[in-house]
Amino acid sequence: MLRTVIIGSGCYVPEEIKTNRDFTVHDFYGEDHKKISTPPDVVTQKFQEITGIEERRYAEHDHTSSDLAYFASVKAIEDAKIDPETLDQIIFAHNYGDVTKHHIQTDAVPSLASRLKQKLGIRNPSCIAYDILFGCPGWLQGVIHSDAFFKAGIAKRILVVGSETLSRVIDPYDRDSMIFSDGAGATILEYQDTTGSGILACSVQSHCVDEAGFINFGKSYFPDSDPRIRYIKMKGRKVYEYAIKNVPAAMKECLDNANVDIHQLKKVFIHQANEKMDEGIIKTLYKLYGLKQIPEGIMPMSIHKFGNSSVATIPTLYDMVIHNEMPEHELKQGDIILFASVGAGMNINAVCYQM
C-alpha cells in the first residue's frame, strides 16, 4: 500500500535562553493602552501558571528564519540519508518572512523556500520551492499538501520545514509577548509502498468570519508608540475558547476518517501554544468519546523550556521524541500518533499517522 511516510527529521533550537525573570523588568500595558498596575513579577508568575512556560529561545542576532530552517533541514536530510537533489518540492511554513534583528520590516521576496533551496545548494530545477502561510498549523498543512501531491502523482519526496523568529515581531509591553519564541523543525516525506506505516487520514478547518482577527498584527500597547510599527497581537481568551471548542472535534474527525479507535492512540503531538489549553483540548477530545480517563504520557510537551515557536513546535517536538531526547516518550513501529494544531486564520488541522 502506498502511503506518505516521514523518513527523516531535524530541528534547530536557538541557544539564547530567555527566562521569565528577564521579563520582570518590563512595564506591561493592556489593550486599552493603560499601564497594568499588577507588579511585573506577579504578572510573570501568573503567566507561568497558566501557560506552563518557564523559558523560551531566541535566535542569534545574525540569524533569520531561513537560516534556522537551513540548520534544521540539513539535519533532516542527513537523518533521511538522501541526496537533496532528489527532492521534488520544498514547502516552507512561516508567518513573517525573514525579519532582521532591530529592523521592522518582514522580508519574503524571494520566498523563504527559494532562499532555503539556495542555502542547501540544490540546483535541480524540478525541485519546486514555495512558502505556505497558514498560521501556527503551517508545517502540518505542508505535510497535508505533500500527501495530496503524492497521491496526485506530482511528487515522490518532499522537504517540509516550519521556521519562525517571533522574538522579532513581539511587543515588549504586551504580556502575551512572553509566549512566543524562535525555532525550526524539518521533515523529509516520501511516498512509499509500505505494510502499514504512513499517513492514515487528515482533517482541516478554517473559521474566517468572526474569528479572523483573533491573532493579527497591531500597534504596540505602549500609548506613545509609533502607530506605523506593528507587532503580533492575540486575543488570548478568544483563542483559548475557540481552540477548546473546535480543535477536539477536528481531531475526532481525523481519527474517525482513519477508522482508528481512540484507545489505539499512542501519542498526541499538539501545537505547543499554552499548557492549560493543550490539556483542555485533550480532555475534551476524550470526552467526545465518552471517556473521562486520559492515558498517562499521551501528550509530550516542550513548551516549558522552548515556548511557542509557531510552525516549528510540532516538528521540533516530534524530532526530539524520535531521536530519544525525551526518553519518557517512546515510539515503536506500528504505533499510531495524532498531530494537531491551531492558529491564526483561524485554522485547525490534524493528521493521523502510523509509525
CA distances to 77, 132, 296, 312, 347 from 161, rounded to whole Å, are: 11, 10, 30, 8, 18
User: Within a 10 A sphere around the Cβ of 261, how many other Cβ atoms?
Assistant: 11
Q: Over the stretch 269-299, which tens digit does the pLDDT of each residue have?
A: 999 999 999 999 999 999 999 999 999 999 9
Query: What's the confidence (pLDDT) of residue 227?
Result: 87
pTM of the model: 0.95
Grade residue 129 by pLDDT with cuts at 50, 70 and 90. Answer: very high
Kindly give, in sequence order, each residue whose CB lies less than 8 Å from that of residue 148, ignoring residues fewer than 6 positions away.
none
Say which CATH class 2-196 falls into: alpha beta
- HSE of 321 in the Cβ direction (CA atoms, 13 Å)? 23
pLDDT at 104 over 80: no
Query: What's the confidence (pLDDT) of residue 121?
Result: 98
- Of all residues in the chain, the percent with pLDDT exceeding 90 is 95
So where are the chain's domains?
2-196, 199-354
In this chain, the answer to whether the domains covering 2-196 and 199-354 adopt an identical fold is yes
Angle of the 138-151 helix axis to the 313-322 helix axis, nearest 10: 80
173 near 302, Cβ under 8 Å?
no
Return the higher-pLDDT residue of 105 and 60.
60
Grade residue 180 by pLDDT with cuts at 50, 70 and 90. Answer: very high
pLDDT at 82 over 80: yes
Q: Over the stretch 193-232, which tens digit does the pLDDT of each residue have?
A: 988 899 999 999 999 999 999 999 999 999 999 988 999 9
Q: What is the mean pLDDT of residues 334-347?
A: 97
pLDDT at 42 over 80: yes
Q: What is the mean pLDDT of residues 97-119?
A: 93
- Fold classified for 199-354: Peroxisomal Thiolase; Chain A, domain 1 (3.40.47)
Q: What is the mean pLDDT of residues 143-168?
A: 97
Average pLDDT in the chain: 96
Query: What's the confidence (pLDDT) of residue 266?
Result: 97
